[in-house]
Chain A
Amino acid sequence: MSYKYAIITNTGKDFFTYQNRLDFFLRGYPANVWVIGNNEKGALWLAEKNGVEKTKTEAQAIVDAEISTSQTQWDNLPEADKFNDRRPTDITLP
């Protein structure tokens, strides 16, 4: 399966619909990065949302930067505050 990559803000209700989920692959990642199945309906949804398209390398770099910032923040937490959560893990986009 091939994908498109884009920056899009989730606007809430009807941002993506039940039917969208049946029609094409869609997954959200940190920093408003979305991975969209590269078919006709996926491309139409991306255009309708005015998504800012990125290459896979660009999208991965945006996610990496977000995760890196979060990891630094977590490292600087007091030990007691680390109980609730784990250190953010690197994410590899499909």
Chain B
Amino acid sequence: MTAYNVIRGLTVKYLGSDPSNPENGEVWYNTDSNTLKVKNVLVASGDGAWASGGGLPAVNNGGAGAGTQTAALGFGSRTGPQSSATYEYDGSSWTSGGSLNNPQGNNNGAGTQTAGLSFGGGPSGSATNKTEEYDGSSWTNVNNMGFTRTLAAGAGTQTSALCATGYSNGTKAQDYDGTNWTTISDVGTSRYNVGAAAGTNTAFVMFGGVSGSAATEEWNGSAWSNGGNMNTGRGMYNGGTGTQTSALAIAGDGPGNPDTNKVEEYNGSSWTNVASLATGRRSLFAGSSSTTAGIAMGGRVGGSDQSITEEWTVPQTLGVGTISAS
């Protein structure tokens, strides 16, 4: 067993009252309340809302995203011809990064700003199997997927990603381990314009789809299962972020909900409506970060491609928490 004083350099103190200025991560036992306590754990969450972020250098419809709200990556586009443009965000403004080797829109993204992954994509009914990895400055071609795919469900990290369904290979899915793509079980429902979120390729969720699908499917590394349906079915494009148990479905487009600004949050079993974007749109793309500090950029509203960025924030209050046995 690892001793607490070895890994933290501190012992667990027995105190009659809470210390006045504990260190972050410090643990102590309060003998008055008979509780084990720790400093700087999440004790409250505020209301989530979307604020404007720095605008993309160019309008972008159908790109892919990765990274966090303060270190995001946007790449590819179907604005005009398929684009190789890559942009990096620092929390306030976008700058150009290294260009994709293969210009793509409708591609999928995964990973971080310094370890990104682009896969699939393609214009006007055609699709590609191309895969590229980003190192923070340039893209490198790596092993391609085993099938061509555009407008698919894709998410994960550079070393643990998954691509499922999409146009036009129906129910097929593959996972990526950082080197190779491997075929996994077929999904239950074939669709395209699907949103996705994943921490790894063994904890993946995909949702929505063209023609207003509300269906949600989860992959646990060995089997697909149905999750709770979205409240508003719609084509999601790359408007998914987070993980299998904490995901956001951002905007999208469907019958009766054109260019919607609706946002829903998934908890691993059901969807809840949360605060809406200021500007509803389709074909936007999101980072691959948490559901408390997200980012969504680009897209199309009416017939106009957009350069706008919006940032999702759920204020987190840290403080002293009690460690319980349950």
| B261 lies within 8 A of A12 (CB) | no
User: What is the predominant secondary structure among interface residues of chain B facing chain A?
Assistant: loop
User: Given A18-B313, A28-B278, A84-B62, is A70 in contact with B303 using a C-beta cutoff of 8 Å?
Assistant: yes
Residues 8-33 (chain A) with a chain B CB within 8 angstroms: 10-18, 20-22, 26-30
Q: B258 contacts A70, CB within 8 Å?
A: no
The reply on B250 being an interface residue by CB < 8 A is no
CB-contacts of B276-318 with A (<8 A): 276, 278-280, 282-283, 300-304, 308-309, 313
Q: A29: which B residues are within 8 A, CB to CB? A: 279, 301-302
Q: A27-B278, A88-B303, A89-B258 are in contact. Are A80 and B52 (CB under 8 A)?
A: no
The answer, yes or no, to whether A40 is at the interface (CB within 8 Å) is no
B51, B62, B92 — most chain A CB neighbours (10 Å): B51
**Inside 8 A of A84's CB, which chain B residues have their CB?**
62, 78, 105-106, 123-124
Q: Are A12 and B53 in contact, with the CB atoms below 8 A?
A: yes
Please indicate which of the listed interface residues B49, B123, B283 has the most CB atoms of chain A within 10 Å of its own CB: B49
Q: How far is the CA of A64 from the CA of B106 in the complex (A)?
A: 28
Q: When chains A and B are docked, how far (Å) is the Cα of A91 from the Cα of B302?
A: 8
Closest to A86 in B: B253
Question: Is the pair B275, A21 in contact by a Cβ cutoff of 8 Å?
Answer: yes
* Closest A residue to B56 using CB positions: A12
A67 at the interface (CB under 8 A from B): yes
Chain B residues within 8 Å of A14, by CB: 51-52
A69 within 8 A of B: yes
- A interface secondary structure, majority: mixed
A74 at interface, CB cutoff 8 A: yes
Q: Are B303 and A16 interface neighbours, CB within 8 A?
A: no
Give the one of A14, A22, A30, A81 with max B CB within 10 A. A30
Instruction: Check B170 for interface membership: any CB of A closer than 8 A.
Output: no
Contact between B51 and A30, CB atoms less than 8 A apart = no
> Is the beta-carbon distance between A21 and B278 smaller than 8 angstroms?
yes
Q: Tell me which of A18, A28, A70, A80 contacts B279 (CB under 8 A).
A: A28
Q: Out of A20, A27, A80, name the residue touching B124 (CB < 8 Å).
A: A80
- A-to-B contact residues, CB < 8 Å: 10-18, 20-22, 26-30, 63, 66-67, 69-71, 73-74, 80-81, 83-86, 88-89, 91
A-B contact pairs, 5 of them (CB 8 A): A13-B54, A63-B302, A69-B303, A70-B304, A84-B78
